[in-house]
Amino acid sequence: MKTKRILALLCAVTVFGLTACSSGGDNGNASNSTNAGNKTPQQTETNTEPEADKPFGKYNETVTITLGRQGVSGNNLPSGDTLESNQFLKYVEDRLNVKVKYDFSVEDLDAYNQKVTLAIASNNTPDVMVVDEQQFKRMAQAKMLADLTDVYDQYASPLIKEYYSSYTDDRVLNTGRIDGKLLALPNTNIDGSYQLLWIRKDWLDKLKLTPPKSMEEVTAIVKAFKEQDPDGNNKADTVGLLGEKSVVTDGGFFTFDPVFNVNHSYPKNWFKDSSGNIVYGSTTPETKEALKVLRDLYAADLIDKEFLTRKWEDNAGLVSSGRAGILFAPWFAGWALSDAVKTNPNADWIPLAVPLDGEGNRNIVPSVPSGMFLVVNKKAENPEAVIKMLNVEYEGIRLIDPASQELYKDLGVGWQNYPLNLQLDYQDSLARDIPVFDQAIKDNTSAGLPARIIPRVNSVLKNNKDPKKDLPAYADSLAFYTGAAVTGAKEIKKIDPIFYGKTATMLKKGANLEKLENETFLKIITGTAPMDEFDKFVSTWKNIGGDEITKEIADAVAGK
């Protein structure tokens, strides 16, 4: 999951959330979003010009905003353009008469975090940055941040507010609040990153099998794929269920999250049990039972025996070469799985929201609502300019403003080259676009649709007319349409954690606790340790920090 390839695919998810070819922004409401931004809110003392006091109002005199941010890996800007000088940046500057001055841009994430940490320690931060949770809380504790409560209420555009309000109970925006003050604008993590069961339907058909629902049926199909030569090459070269040594990961490829979830086990998440006690999902009896299921699968050679040593590219190679036909991965795996068609045009992947528990539910844990935060230095002279930049930026990203539709047209330049790299979208953005695709297929046209979605609709239409003949169109259709549609399946049941975030002891001891957990789980699954090792893990986990963390979370939940 840490390879460049998987990062590229995850970046593609971000592109989905934040480009013209993504879900979100307007869904037929482009004119409403644009017009809503022209309403005049109350004026503030910061700016007295009526126009400048609007969410999209242009300043009479140039306002300078200093910025520090992570750079863009593999930037695909045309020659001569840079992160610090490009059409996206100029578009925002020209619309608002705001000049963005880069204090720093560092491409490597670790180096960027080091730069931010040093800036915080020296109390010498730019006007605006996007930081992680710990950095945000450190700056808040040091009273370095501007209070954005009133600024957000007055200057945030209707579209920006719609994104945040789509998350129930303000659960995303509240992550940016401390002591009732809005001290940061958080990013938004959309629904749907949980694992689906991706399976070769052409293999099912060849072996006269039907798509599975229960874990028992999944196991039977894995066994058939492993033993009955589904590719018909008369070689015993197909592997069973692919695996990943991280075991469970939100949005992970090849991980075993669904096997835990079907057993009502939710590792790495915090919940209240039936008695109201705070419990860590990795330490429950249900997790022990799920580990036993995986242990039995591995012992029966139904989980790829080499998963511990395989890299992401190795698993992807098994898929593309036609040796693997069943795996767990999110909706956006469609892009990677489409490679199998290059080897065999008959390869036909389908996603399923399985395995289901005894009540017919595919239990899932929603993604952490946010993890990155846009913060504004309390010394910034025009904090409202940052909010207005975000407003304009999203009119550009969503192609609501016609002028933005000409920027780098057909060049595939990523949204990250806009100055504020904060990802925002509707919670249900995946589900919102499925009816659009359905209608476009029915009408056989993308005419009249919002500009932001037309490229994806055209891919779906092209693939629907001539399946798999255009591989990029097939890949887009498999991910954005086929895979994304299953994320809204009626069988999905959300299990909401009681706590997100990091406590003090997590920051100090979390790495060691996670290492203990992962190593124990892998030993149990592969049979190098007995099942009783789980009970020893739980005891050790509690003694070396788990009990402290549990108490801290209980206090946090209680508002102490």
Question: Across residues 277-295, what is the average pLDDT?
Answer: 98
Give the strand pairing for 362-364 and 128-132: unpaired
142 vs 206: CA distance, rounded Å = 64
Residue 530: predicted pLDDT: 98
Least confident of 6-10, 20-24, 111-115, 395-399: 20-24
CA distance 142 to 21: 40
* CA–CA distance, 560 with 555 (Å, rounded to integer): 5
| Averaged pLDDT, 489-514 | 94
DSSP state letters, 207-259: TT-PPP-SHHHHHHHHHHHHHS-TT-SSSS----B---TT---TT-SS--HHH
Percent of the chain with pLDDT over 90: 86
pLDDT single digits (tens) 433-465? 999 999 999 999 999 999 999 999 999 999 999
Determine the length of the chain.
Answer: 560
Assess whether pLDDT exceeds 50 at residue 381. Answer: yes
Q: Which CATH class is domain 192-365+429-491?
A: alpha beta
Average pLDDT, the chain: 91
| Averaged pLDDT, 521-545 | 98
Q: Where are the domains of the chain?
A: 4-191+369-417, 192-365+429-491
Residues 6 or more apart from 278 whose CB is under 8 A from it? 270, 271, 272, 498, 499, 550, 553, 554, 557
Give me 327's structure tokens.
Answer: 């795996």
- For the entire predicted model, the pTM comes to 0.86
Of 338, 318, 320, 367, residue with least CA distance to 479: 338
What is the rounded distance in angstroms from the CA atom of residue 560 to the CA atom of residue 558? Answer: 6
Least confident of 32-46, 370-384, 545-559: 32-46
CATH superfamily name and code, 4-191+369-417: Periplasmic binding protein-like II (3.40.190.10)
Fold equal for 4-191+369-417 and 192-365+429-491: yes
Is residue 21's pLDDT more than 50? no
Residue 558 — very low, low, confident or very high, per pLDDT cuts 50/70/90? confident
Return the minimum-mean-pLDDT range out of 16-25, 316-325, 364-373.
Answer: 16-25
Specify whether the CB–CB gap between 337 and 198 falls below 8 A.
yes
| pLDDT score for 50 | 59
pLDDT tens digits, one per residue of 351-377: 999 999 999 999 999 999 899 999 999
* Distance in angstroms (rounded) separating the CA atoms of residues 292 and 298: 10
Q: Which of 455, 425, 413 shows the shortest CA–CA distance to 88?
A: 413
